[in-house]
Every structure is written in structure tokens, then in C-alpha cells.
Structure 1
């Protein structure tokens, strides 16, 4: 079937024709069926998601069937869920055009944490037809007493950028909320939208909340993107992560294009890149800065300027990764290696929102290993291959939070609720024991905490259902909702001026009045803390610091790591590399050998009175850090007297006082490392405590925010450590301790990759004993003692004399 005349004429007036996937979603909606639409950026995905709702609402109201509309009452018809607040606002703004041009009797609004309280109250009293929101705002809406009434009329739920949720704790929370919606609105259908999907059936399964299958709709592929690697005039650094050597080329590229987005991987890198561009901005080009720690007003100002075409460029983190539609953007620059192909494709899609025109992007690698990674990503883009994360086990801390949120709205029937939880993809195989233990924890705190009334959050009714023990529980839930656990933040404010945003409390604690730092694209002088706000003034000089944020750098994906190994062992692909990198690899082949896919290359050499071991694992920083911890324990037992280690995404470097033999290396890298050694290390390290802190916050055991106050990092840590020690002593099988170990293994240690590495290395270690450092080992040794970005901005300055000596030593034939 085609579109109604009104909608067909609107398409014609804009010189468009509805695409097959748009028509397919309209047809599926008429059948009441759920769907996953996979289509490239510029293919009209978002319009495809909303078209059926716009058509249905218009037809019902034109025929006089909508009684609530006749009475002037609001009823929610379609809920749109976005991973970003900016995207929810942007989609609402984009929908205003077709609604206005076709004079549709439809009201669309957005609701996020930035929405004024007065508007949020009005939306609950008189809901709009279409509501754009985020998972956290949805969880809040589901926790209100009027949730059943508010969602009773819901006909459609659209989840944009679905792939961004699927394997995260936030995705687990969203899945539970969607299942709740399926209960409250049994007639609702679910529509997922995504441009980058590695496993379509698995993603479609995320939407399967009823017996009927979810239809997968594939859009036309569109023109392939054009991606190149920037050839910087300055020499490519051997180490570092900021890519400052490429800033002059990036500035010239900005000059040659209409509007560019420069994506970086961390907020600290965003501040440094923005500062470096402004220092050479002789033409005074309008360049903006956008990341999640900036004040709402700052972000909105940048978004509005981009929408109006007033900016030539914006430096951004993942805060602008997803879905934002700015038609004037004609180039994306990825500063630093992308760390994953799907992430790169998502960012490339921000340029040239037309299906028949290629998106254009450039990559500016920050160092020599990143050149290899960038080439691997470029080849994967050309081959249209994507990477994806494996599913994670059901997150019990998230389930605990959802139990409380559900009880805030109405009493819970435990059996019906278990069935509701089990129909979600992440919790489909949840053991009944885990569910019961989690529910009991929410109700009483568990055996070890049952004596404390504050952790009794549910009470049983005579009819067997469970309700909140106190209204205070609902207030605490609503102030702490969500799975994004950030370290405590402090507002940064200009004296007699606006609030610029927030930085982590620990960063401010490391400053003394007079210190300078870069934030919100400005050079600031720290004056002191007043009423929990960092007071600042404009600075004119000094050696500024840059705030670093929890979460750190993105780890290299397994898929890209495999491709990097492939490039290293295939000389036929080396001509694609810059001359400096080719020479680097040529000397490495002469001095030692290149890493291969079927062996683990380990080099050993003396330097400065120490014995170094460098393992070319290519398993990402997280896995390498865990491996380094475990190896140093084993080296200590062997009498090798280890002194330390350093990990990058590509290489692990260790040093001690004695060199290992080949037989000792085989023992060091044995698979049994992941048994007793791992257990002992996890128990001794702060890793489990850190993981427990996050789990306890998400599960509601510890509140970050309390009515009238916000806990400091030190208070949260003290509370969580005290409870952690109590549970380990008196109830070691407590559900939160189980969740903690699971969380630590998944998120912090990257154990699966580590296990795959050790399995691959068994019997296939290639040990090269050298008389001095090799060229490929230079980058990891440059990391030893490198000052954190917290301490200054000199990370990518010209290499000092000591570093140059290291390079000269490695490249001397």
C-alpha cells in the first residue's frame, strides 16, 4: 500500500519519493507488527519510524474517532527513546517541519533531564501525542503513581540507535522498561532504528517482547563512504594519544569545507584539541566545543549554532555520535584512532545526510600504532564489515533498581513480575534463584543487612503483593535513577558569571588557588571552592591542567585488533602506509621480527640496569592491564623481581631485575593464570571494591544523591567499603557480591579476550632475546612515567632528549 494523499503530496512538494523501507514500516504498523529497520544515515530512518504514527493520528482525528482529542485531552500515542538528550531534542525539532507543512493535528514534545519541571508536570497531566525522551526519563515516568494511566493509550515505541544500547547496563535497564511498557500497553508495537548492526537477528531479538516475530527491514545500502587518512606534515609521533601534530592540517581542512565535526575519544582530548585549534585560528573561524560535562546552556548554544549553519567546525566526543542531523556537515574528522569500526561508521554518518552521496571522513592517527589501526578501520569500512560486542550476562544490580522503580508505581505481584523480566532478551535465561535473591535484597537487604531498617525497601501486603515500605524510598529512587555511574562532580562557575559545566571532584581537590586549567574551551584560573562550586576567573597564562574523566580511553575492539595483526604480517599492504611507518616496520624486521596472527611475539632486552619484556598482544588496554597485574604476581613467585608494567591498546611492557627464560615465559603465559591467580589478585586489589561501589550505587544500596544533599566521592567510597567488608565477612554469597564479581570480570578485566589470548599463545610463543630495544617497543616504553593529562598539556610536544635517545637506540642497525 502507498501513502495517504496528504502525505504523498508532501513528499512530492519536497521533490522526494517514499523509500521502500519507509513504506514497509507503514505496512507493518497497519498489521500491528514490531520491526527493526537497518538503513544507512540519510536514508530517512527516523521519518520511517514516525510516519505510521503521523498517518494513524491524522486519519483518526480527521474521521472523528479520537474522542480524547475532541475533548481537548492529551493521550500519548508514540514514545521515542534516544540514547542522547541532544538527539531527542533534535528529532522533536525536525518533526516540527512535516507537522507544520501538512498542518497535521499532532503535538510533539521532548522530555529529558534538561526539560523544565513545569513542562514535565504539564506533560503528565496532558500528554503530547509524540514524546521524545531518554531511558532515564522513561524509568522516571514508569515510577509515578499515574504510570498505568499515562501509558495506557501507547501504540508505538521507537528506539533510535538501538545498537548503542544492546550490550550495556543501560540497555539492560531499557529492556526491563520496555517489558513494563508491554504490560501497561499490550497493544503497543516496538520499532528499532539503527544504521550500524553487526548481528541483525540478535538486535531484533532485543525487541521481541511478545510471541510474534520482529520483522527485519533492510534499507538501500546507499553510496559507500569516502574515508582517507590525513597525511600530516610533521613527523608521526612514536607515542602519545592527543594527535596535536596533525592540528595544522586539520585547521587547513576545516578552511576548505563548509562545516566539519572533529570527533575525539575523550573529553580531555576535546578540550586540548579545541584549545590547539583556537591557538592557530588566524582567520577567526567559528569553532565550537561539545561534550557531556559542559553546562546545558553551553551545549544548546553550540547545537543551535550548528543547526543554523553558523559554525565552521565543532570538536565533539560521543555526545554527538548518534543521529544528530545537521545537513550542512560535509566532513567528519576522527582525531585519534576510532577503536572500533561500528563507532567510526556511526561518526562518518554525521556528514552528508543524503543516501545517494558518499559521506566524507578523514582519520588523524595520534601515533604510529594508530596509523596501523586507522588503516585497518579504513579497510573494514571499504569491505562494509562491522564489529560488535558480545551479549553480557544479566545485570542483577540493574534488576534491583528496576524492582524499586516498579514498586514506586504500584504493588508488585512477584510471579507476574518474574515472567515480565524473563521475556526481555538480557534476562531471558535468568535463574529463578538469582531473581529471588535480588528481590529479597530489595525487600530486606539480605541476611547480613536485614537488621537495618534503612535497607527494608519493600513490605508484603496481605494479598501477597509487595509495595514500597516508605514514600522516602520513591524519593531516593527518583534522585538516583539510571545506570550511568559518574564520579561526584563539582560545578565550574565564573566569578560573577555563568556556570560553565561540571568536572570531577577529585580534579578540583588537586588544585590550589592560582592554578590554571582548560575547560569549556577557556583558560581558567582556580580561585577556590565556595558552597560546593569551583569559582574561577579568566587566566592569561601558566601551564594549564586539563580535567580527566572516569571511563578513560576506549579500548581497541577485537575485530580491529585482528585486522591490525593482518596488516603487520602482510607486506603487500604496507605500501598503503606513510613512509615513516613503513621504515619503522622495515627496521623492526631487521632488528627482530613483526608480530603474526598465529604466534605471540615477546621481546626481551636490557636497558638502564633493568630487564624488559614486551608482549605484542593487541587485545586492548583493559585486557593488557589485567594481564600485567597477573604476570607480575607470577614473576614475583619465580624470583624475577618485577618492578612494574605499562599497557597500551597494542602492547604490554613489563620490567624487573632478572630476565625470564623461554621455559619461564611459557609458564608465565599459561592458561591456568585465569584460575587461582585471578581469584587471588581480584581479592587483594581495589578492583572488586571499585566494582562493588558502582554496583551498590546502581542497586540503590548507596545513594549518590539524597533529598537536600549530594554525597562526596569520599563519603560514597567509605560507605561502600564498609558494606563490602561486612558482606564479605557475614554473607559472602550476597547477590551484590555475585553481581560485583560478574561486573568486574566483564567490564574491568576483559577476561574473555584475555582467555582467548592465552589459548592462542599456548605452545606458540616466539621469544626474541635482543641486545637492546626494538623499534616496535619504543611506544610502550615512552608510556613509562608519562605524565597523565591531569598534570599538563605537554603530552604530544616534541620528544625530549631522553626519548630521542631511546628512538636512536632502537633504530640503529
Structure 2
């Protein structure tokens, strides 16, 4: 639109930017072919051919409609999308963030709008569910509702725990928590940086195992799913999961042997990508992520001002392209990017892998406790907060506190 460009001249400039510093010659050639031919699986469709090559080898846009659409989508920022939750019979329940619902597999149970619902399918932008009597502690959540710990903050938190143990300089925050930390030491253990704490105990809700990596909510969510999935490969068992920024809990109505988990090395980073795909429905998450990629890359058009294309139509169009690339062009860079962004952003695989590698080097401290400990208390109350009961949450927390006294 600005007079075109010559690939050999502009490539050094592109590669000099931070975002594309690692781009290879093969990837650059693929990008050029994509804007000219629309990739190998779409080259029969003129609407995906954005750029022409003139006699001098210059790449340029000579179509007014294509240029206008490109201008309208420049600087696109794709926001979070809501999915409508309906009963299979058609009754409307509410809306939930797509990030949460896309992780669901058929038969998964979650709590939403005061109801315990079983997920049936996700069709377009509508999630079909039905009421169920199955128990669960999975509660609908919003991705922006909490700011998880970063890797750096998690490291500082582990440092503070060790400083408390060794008597080094303590921050005002740690001093304020002195009594809680001392009680934790009495009931269980306060882990040092070289230690990884696991607690097990039994309550009327079932058998609990609580792990404390101190890595942030998103990493703990993925790690809890991985461990629960790997345990389920050893024996048929159902888990409920709960997590916060400090640790996570797996809860079952069946007893499970923690020593068996440790002996089978279920905390290993090996086979991580495969287990993530199996435990978190990564394909559906990547399919949803691909919609954003399709919009930014120009594969689908979001519409004109005051006449935007509905999200469900964008989703249907991008899903069709996703299936085409998956079946006919699995090496398509945009298709691969969908999985890359899913694992790096939604699941944060790189941080999960680093956490598991660090656990491999730590001394595992397993404490069989008689009751919930101070460190496990926030995880349990976070789960109870979203659970329906005739007993008020404050009363339940008070009753749990009395057991410590």
C-alpha cells in the first residue's frame, strides 16, 4: 500500500526487530508465499491472495478492496470472548469466558450460576450442559479476575520462607505472618528453597493431597491437572482440583497412595507436552486461539465500522480453516502458532517445565497430617467459597479454626 517492497531489501530490516530476530529464511519464504498464494491448501481461493508480484519482483497490493480491509484490521487487539451457557433443552443460564469453557471435555462437571452442571459440547459460541448430581469443586472463573504470581515473585516468596527458617532479615509482611508460619511449622513443615512440601490428610470431604510449588495460579492449575491425569493412569479414580498462588490440592473420595505417586516419578517433566494435551483438552484451546490468529493474519475479516461480523461467524470461519490446516497442512506456521500460544500463554508450559525440573532437584518432604494445616487453609476455603451449602462459609471457616485451638 506504500509502494510495495522487495523481499531481499526488507528482510534484514524485519530480522533486526526484536519480535522477528529468530525468523529463518524458510519461515520468511513461507510468509511471502502466504500473502501471495494464501498457503498451499488455500491457493485455489482468490480471497486469500492479498499481494501481487510485478515484473521487477516488487510485492504490492493492487486491489482497492484488499487494501481497505487491511487498513481496517491494522493494529487489531483481540479481546476475551464470552460463551453462552445453555441447557441441552434450550434454557439460558448465563455467559462464561471462553478461556474457561474451552478446557472442558465431554462429561466434565463444574459449578456455574449456583448450579452443578455437566458439560456436553461446545458448538460455535454456545456451551450445552445439563444438571447433574455429580460432585465437583471446579468453579467457573474469569481469566482476568486474579493476577498470578510471576516466576520472579515466586522465587522471592521461596526466599522469604527460607529467611524465616534461617533467621535472616525478615520483611514486615513475614513478621506479620509470624504466628501463622510458626503454627505451620508445628503442624507440618515450612519448606526451604531446597525442599518441596507435600501434605496429605483426611476430612469428611475425602482424601486430600496438597502440594506447594509457589509458582502462581496458572502453573498450579496445569500441574494439578498433570498429576491427576498421571495418577488416573495407574488406577481408575476421580479427583477434584483446587489451586491458588502458593499451591494446589487434589481431592478424592478414594484413598490414594502418595508413596506410589513418588515411586512412579509422576512429578517428572518427561512427556509433558503429550500429557498436557491429554489432560487439558489442548486441541480445543488451540482451535479457539486460532480465531485470534486468523483475525490478525487477515484470514478472516471482522467487518466494517458499525457493521461488525458476529463472533460466532468469526469462530465458525476460523474453525473451518483450523480443520483444513490440521488435515492438509499441519506444518502451516499459523496452525503451529495456535498451539505455541496455547502452551506458552494459557498453560505456560515453559514455566511448568521449569517448575517440574526444579522439583526433581529438591528434597521432597511428605507430611501425613491429622487435619488441614495453615498453609492448606486458603486453598480449601477458596474451594468452599464457591460451593453451595446450607452452612455459611464464615461458620465453616470458624469451625475449622476451632479445630486448631
Instruction: Report the TM-score range of the alignment, normalised by the length of the smaller protein.
Output: 0.7 to 0.9
Q: Which residue of the other structure, out of 597, 608, 611, is the alignment partner of 2:193?
A: 597
Q: Which residue of the other structure, out of 446, 462, 478, is the alignment partner of 2:39?
A: 446
Q: Which residue of the other structure, out of 615, 625, 634, is the alignment partner of 2:230?
A: 634
Q: What runs of 5+ residues in structure 1 fail to find an aligned partner? A: 1-407, 489-503, 513-547, 789-797
Q: Deviations over 1:673-711 (max 9, x none)?
A: 424323544665532123222222222222333355213
Q: Residue 745 in 1 paired to residue 329 in 2?
A: no
Provide the secondary structure at the position in 1 that maps to 2:75.
Answer: coil
Q: Relative contact order, CA 8 A, sep 6+: which one is greater?
A: 2
Q: Residue 428 in 1 paired to residue 25 in 2?
A: no
Provide the secondary structure at the position in 2 that maps to 1:426.
Answer: coil
Report if aligned partners of 2:199, 2:366 keep a CA contact under 8 Å in 1: yes
Q: Deviations over 1:233-280 (max 9, x none)?
A: xxxxxxxxxxxxxxxxxxxxxxxxxxxxxxxxxxxxxxxxxxxxxxxx
Q: Deviations over 1:310-361 (max 9, x none)?
A: xxxxxxxxxxxxxxxxxxxxxxxxxxxxxxxxxxxxxxxxxxxxxxxxxxxx
Note the C-alpha offset of 1:668: 1.6
Paired position in structure 2 for 1:561: 154
Q: Residues 611 and 732 from structure 1, CA distance in 2 versus in 1: closer, same or farther, beyond 3 angstroms?
A: same
Q: TM-score when scaled to structure 1?
A: 0.40
Note the C-alpha offset of 1:776: 0.5
Separation (CA, whole Å) in 1 of partners of 2:257 and 2:219: 22
Provide the secondary structure at the position in 2 that maps to 1:765.
Answer: strand
Q: TM-score when scaled to structure 2?
A: 0.76
Separation (CA, whole Å) in 2 of partners of 1:579 and 1:761: 27
Q: Which residue of the other structure, out of 162, 165, 183, is the alignment partner of 1:587?
A: 183
Report if aligned partners of 1:775, 1:807 keep a CA contact under 8 Å in 2: no
Provide the secondary structure at the position in 1 that maps to 2:214.
Answer: coil
Separation (CA, whole Å) in 1 of partners of 2:232 and 2:65: 52
Q: Residues 727 and 560 from structure 1, CA distance in 2 versus in 1: closer, same or farther, beyond 3 angstroms?
A: same
Separation (CA, whole Å) in 2 of partners of 1:606 and 1:760: 28
Separation (CA, whole Å) in 2 of partners of 1:680 and 1:511: 28
Separation (CA, whole Å) in 1 of partners of 2:224 and 2:340: 20
Q: Residues 565 and 718 from structure 1, CA distance in 2 versus in 1: closer, same or farther, beyond 3 angstroms?
A: same
Note the C-alpha offset of 1:582: 1.9
Q: Which residue of the other structure, out of 5, 10, 27, is the alignment partner of 1:417?
A: 10
Separation (CA, whole Å) in 2 of partners of 1:736 and 1:707: 26
Q: Residues 468 and 713 from structure 1, CA distance in 2 versus in 1: closer, same or farther, beyond 3 angstroms?
A: same
Report if aligned partners of 2:287, 2:322 keep a CA contact under 8 Å in 1: yes
Provide the secondary structure at the position in 2 that maps to 1:611.
Answer: strand
Provide the secondary structure at the position in 1 that maps to 2:294.
Answer: helix
Q: Residues 630 and 443 from structure 1, CA distance in 2 versus in 1: closer, same or farther, beyond 3 angstroms?
A: farther
Q: Residues 471 and 432 from structure 1, CA distance in 2 versus in 1: closer, same or farther, beyond 3 angstroms?
A: same
Provide the secondary structure at the position in 2 that maps to 1:659.
Answer: coil
Paired position in structure 2 for 1:678: 276
Separation (CA, whole Å) in 1 of partners of 2:336 and 2:83: 29
Q: Deviations over 1:122-159 (max 9, x none)?
A: xxxxxxxxxxxxxxxxxxxxxxxxxxxxxxxxxxxxxx
Report if aligned partners of 1:602, 1:765 keep a CA contact under 8 Å in 2: yes
How many pairs were matched up? Answer: 344
* Higher Rg: 1
Q: Which residue of the other structure, out of 746, 749, 773, is the alignment partner of 2:372?
A: 773
Q: Residues 479 and 597 from structure 1, CA distance in 2 versus in 1: closer, same or farther, beyond 3 angstroms?
A: same
Q: What runs of 5+ residues in structure 2 fail to find an aligned partner? A: 86-91, 96-140
Alignment of structure 1 residues 676-755 onto 2, 5 Å: 676-681=274-279, 684-706=282-304, 708-755=306-353
Separation (CA, whole Å) in 1 of partners of 2:70 and 2:147: 30
Q: Deviations over 1:65-115 (max 9, x none)?
A: xxxxxxxxxxxxxxxxxxxxxxxxxxxxxxxxxxxxxxxxxxxxxxxxxxx
Alignment of structure 1 residues 49-198 onto 2, 5 Å: none
Alignment of structure 1 residues 277-288 onto 2, 5 Å: none
Note the C-alpha offset of 1:591: 0.6
Alignment of structure 1 residues 787-802 onto 2, 5 Å: 787=386, 799-802=393-396
Q: Which residue of the other structure, out of 756, 760, 766, is the alignment partner of 2:354?
A: 756
Provide the secondary structure at the position in 2 that maps to 1:613.
Answer: strand
Report if aligned partners of 2:276, 2:282 keep a CA contact under 8 Å in 1: no
Note the C-alpha offset of 1:445: 2.1
